Amino acid sequence: MFRLPTGFRLAGLAAAAVLLVGACGGGATTAPGGGATTAPGGGATPGASSAATETLKIGIEGPFTGPNALTGEEMKNASTMAFDAINWTVGPYKIEPVYIDDQSDPAKGAAAYEQAAVSQKITAGILGWHSSVAVAQMEVTAKYKIPHFFAMGATGVVNEKFNSDQTKYGYWTSKGWPDPAKLSIAYVTSLNDAIAAGTWTPASKTVAVYGEDTDWGRSFGAGIKQQFQDTGWSVVSEDYFPTTQTDFSALVARYKSNNVPVIAGTSTIPASISAFIKAADDAGVKSMIVADGLGWIGDWYKLTGTSSNYVLDQIPGWTTDKAKKFADDYKAKFNKTPSPSAAGLSYDFTSFFIKIMQQTLADSGSITSETLYKTAQDKLWTGQLTYTDGIIMSNYAYSADTIPDPVVGKGAYIFPVLQYQGGVGAVIWPPEWKTGDIKAKP
C-alpha cells in the first residue's frame, strides 16, 4: 500500500469471525467472550467487568450478503475486533451484536432494521455502507427512536432529511462519511493544479461524469459535475447505470469517440467498478479516469490488475505503526488484505461508539436508547466528544455547523488523491503530502 507522511494519521482495521445472517434481517448472535480488556484507544476500559449483569443489544449494519458482501465482511470483522478489545463489556453491560444485513438493497435494509428493532430490541445501531439504504433506514430509526451512529451512507439526501426535521430524523445521529461534494472537490483541485503547474496538459477542459444509479452515485456525480463547471470545465455527458451492470463496452466506446480528457465517477460495487476500469483499458481509452471507491476493498487490485494504472482515487492508507500493525494482524487472522476505507473506518467508528457508551454510562448511570441519544445531542453534536485514538483519521469530530457530517479538513476527516500504478497509490494531492506528480496514460 502507498505511504503518506507520518503527520497524516490514517489507516487500520480489525476483525474477528462472525456469523452471516439470513436474507431479511439482523439475527442476534452471542458476542465472543474472550479478548483483551483494554479499550481501543489504549488503557483500561472504564467500568469494564468480567461479571456483566445486563445484556445490551447493538445493531451492526452492513451489506453482509449480496453484491457488496466483501465490503460487509470487512466491516463486520473490524467492528468485532473493536469490541473484542473491551471484551464486549461496558460497565455492567455485556454487548450482544445483532447483525443487520441490508444486502445492498434499501427495502431489504429497512425491513432488516425493523426486525432488529422489533424482534431483537436493539438499543442502538452503528455503521452501514450504502447511501440509498441509509435514506430508507432513517425512517425506521425515527419510528422506533433508536439512535444510529456513524453510517457511511454519504449522500446529501441524508443531510436534507436530517435538517428537514431534526426532531424526527435526528436519531440518524451522525454520518461516518461526509456529503460526497465535500471530498470530490479534491479531484477537481488536483487536476486544475496539475494544469497550472504544467505537469498535465489535457487537449480540452471537457469531462464525462458517470456513476451507479443510487443516491450515492448521483450525489457524487452532481457534486463533481458542478465543481468542474465552476472551474471552467464543460461536462459533455452524465451517465448512471445499475449497480448490477458489468458490461461497459458501449459506454466506454462512446467516451473514447468523444475524446474527453477526463472521465469522473464512482461505484460502490467491486464487480461493477472493476469491470468499468477493465473495459476502458481494453478499449484503449487514454482519458484520466477518476474511479472514486476503487480501493474500498482490500483486494481490489486482484479484480483490476494493470488496467487500474493511472486511475485516480481517494483513499486513506496504513501510515502509523499502530495502523500497520493492525493491518498485518488482520491479514494474518483472515488471510485477506483489509481496506482502510471499509475496515479501517469501521474499526475507528466502532471504537468511537464504545467511547460514546462509556461517556453515557458515566453521565447517566445507564445505557439506553434515550441516554445514548442525549449524549449524541449534548456532546457529539456540539464537538465536546471527539475521538483522537483512531487509525485512519487523526481526529473524528462533529459540530453544530456540520451535523450529521463530520468536520472535514486537514487535521480532521480528509482523504488524499492517489494515482495508481501496479496496485500502489502515489499521493498527488494535497501538495504537502505528495509522493508523486500526476501522469497521463501513455
What confidence tens digit (pLDDT) does each residue in 405-432 have? 999 988 899 889 999 999 999 999 989 8
Q: Are residues 427 and 284 in the same domain?
A: yes
Q: Are residues 286 and 429 in the same domain?
A: yes
What interhelical angle do 249-258 and 270-282 show, nearest 10?
50
User: What is the extent of the structural domain holding 108?
Assistant: 27-179+321-380
**Residue 299: pLDDT band with limits 50, 70, 90:** confident
Q: Are residues 96 and 210 in the same domain?
A: no
Q: Are residues 283 and 421 in the same domain?
A: yes
Indicate if the pLDDT at residue 5 is higher than 80. no
Q: Are residues 191 and 293 in the same domain?
A: yes
Q: Which residue has the cell 436530517?
A: 162
pTM summary value:
0.83
What interhelical angle do 106-118 and 131-144 show, nearest 10?
30
Q: Are residues 153 and 268 in the same domain?
A: no
Whether residue 392 is contained in a domain is answered as no
Sign of the torsion formed by the C-alpha atoms of 314, 338, 218 and 377:
negative
Q: What is the pLDDT of residues 71-106, one digit of tens each?
A: 999 999 999 999 999 999 999 999 999 999 999 999
Q: Are residues 266 and 237 in the same domain?
A: yes
Q: Is 253 exposed, middle or buried (0-12, 13-18, 19+ CB in 10 A)?
A: middle
Q: Are residues 98 and 204 in the same domain?
A: no
Q: Are residues 221 and 351 in the same domain?
A: no
User: How many domains is the chain partitioned into structurally?
Assistant: 2
For the chain, what percent of residues have pLDDT higher than 70? Answer: 88
**Residue 318: pLDDT band with limits 50, 70, 90:** confident
Q: What is the pLDDT of residues 154-198, one digit of tens each?
A: 999 999 999 999 999 999 999 999 999 999 999 999 999 999 999
CATH number, domain of 308, equals 3.40.50.2300
Which three-class secondary structure state does DSSP give residue 252? helix
Q: Are residues 42 and 166 in the same domain?
A: yes
Q: What is the pLDDT of residues 343-355, one digit of tens each?
A: 999 999 999 999 9
Q: What is the pLDDT of residues 228-276, one digit of tens each?
A: 999 999 999 999 999 999 999 999 999 999 999 999 999 999 999 999 9
For residue 50, what pLDDT is reported? 52
Q: Are residues 155 and 291 in the same domain?
A: no
Whether residue 2 is contained in a domain is answered as no
Domain end residue (candidates: 336, 364, 380)? 380
Q: Are residues 221 and 116 in the same domain?
A: no
